[in-house]
Amino acid sequence: MADVLVIAELSDGKVRKTTLSAITFAREAAPLLGGGFSILVLGAGAKAAAAELTGFGAAKVYACDDPSLAQYTAEHFAPTAAAVGKSFGVVVATASSFGKDLLPRVAARLDAAYAGDCSAVSGEGGKLVYKRPMFAGNAFGYCTLSTPLQVVTVRQSEFAPAAPSGGASPVEDVAKAAPGAAAGRVQFVSLEQVKSARPELGDASVIVAGGRALKERFNELLEPLADTLGAAIGASRAACDAGYAPGDYQVGQTGKIVAPKLYFAIGISGAIQHIAGMKGSKTIVAINKDSEAPIFQLSDYGLVADLFQVVPELTAALKAKKAAG
């Protein structure tokens, strides 16, 4: 019997939606181990943020509210995460930039085996079996970890956000663990963050993504469509490398992994690296003038046409329908 500890991710003192995917994993994994799950919230304002998580069925919500944790650095966060996590069988976070940076360091402190970017979990012979994507998502591997304590990150696109289950988990304050010598050599300088009225790519239910074929008209064509749909804007790596879209728009193996309800792939050929980042989308609509483009093999709806003509027409039609109610 073992329990699962979820490491919550905060932004501006609020719990990020990514945390809810890790809670879903915990709900699936804990019964396989015969235990339950708890949640650890780290950061300045953690006590208030912990209150957001008391209704998800956790046995306990731990809150480490310390002014020195106002800005994230792994060297300050990892010691406390490890100190709390040592009493659990599995420590998990979502495979966001936060989780990918913090959890391997926690695993090292706990001398625990680590499985990153997991897309599913099952049980076999009393052990957890983790499913992990390989070769840009074109194959999957299954692994078990042999250490008593295991550390895991999970894909947000593969674990649906958990919904509140009722109840009120108790909140317990925990003190910040003393950082190691490395913390004294690390200084938080600044965070450069792109602010947008549109949803974040990882949280959006609709994404309008464009490729290099849009050229300098990338924003001119996609922004009106995204605004009409209340969508986030994404891009292929080729579009970002060419300077037509900022790097934080990139969807793909080396960008962001997304799984919206609706994904528009406009002028995107469907390179394997891009498909790895959006193949989990529920409905995919592709627009490309090349009828042999690989994206059509994956799309639910495909239109072979000149995107410079049909995207404005599609935007106008959607606006008219929206106005008509």
Does the pLDDT of residue 259 top 70, yes or no?
yes
Least confident range from 114-128, 175-189, 310-324: namely: 175-189
Give me the helices (H) in 17-68, please.
18-33, 46-50
Q: Mean pLDDT highest for which of 11-15, 179-183, 314-318? A: 314-318
Alpha carbon distance 32, 317 (integer Å): 50
| pLDDT at site 194 | 65
Closest CA to 46 of 9, 79, 101, 85: 9
- Predicted model pTM: 0.83
Segment 82-104 mean pLDDT = 96
Percent of the chain with pLDDT strictly greater than 90: 76
Confidence band of 195 (pLDDT split at 50, 70, 90): low
Task: List strands edge to edge, sheet with 113-118.
Answer: 113-118, 150-154, 90-94, 4-7, 37-42, 61-64, 171-173
Please check the confidence at residue 89 and state whether its pLDDT lies above 70.
yes
135-158 residue pLDDT tens? 777 789 999 999 999 999 999 888
Q: Does 182 score more than 90 pLDDT?
A: no
| Helix, strand, coil percent values for the chain (each to nearest 5) | 35, 25, 40
pLDDT at res. 317? 95
Q: What is the pLDDT of residues 296-310, one digit of tens each?
A: 999 999 999 999 999
- 18: pLDDT strictly greater than 80: yes
Is the pLDDT reported for residue 1 higher than 80? no
More confidently predicted of 255 and 84? 84
pLDDT of 33 > 80? The answer is yes
pLDDT for the residue numbered 84: 97
- Domains of the chain by start residue, with CATH: 4-185 (3.40.50.620), 206-324 (3.40.50.1220)
Distance, in Å, from the CA atom of 85 to the CA atom of 79, rounded to the nearest integer, reads 10
pLDDT given for residue 169 in this prediction? 95
The whole-number pLDDT of residue 236 equals 96
* Rounded Cα gap, residues 321 and 319, in angstroms: 5
Residue 75 confidence (pLDDT): 93
- Work out the percent of the chain whose per-residue pLDDT is above 70: 99
CA torsion through residues 96, 214, 287, 270, sign:
negative
Nearest Cα neighbor of 92 from 169, 49, 147, 30 is 30
Residue 95 in tokens? 């495979």
Average of per-residue pLDDT values in the chain: 93
Identify the band that residue 186 occupies on the pLDDT scale cut at 50, 70 and 90.
confident
Is residue 49 within 8 A of residue 15, CB to CB? The reply is: yes
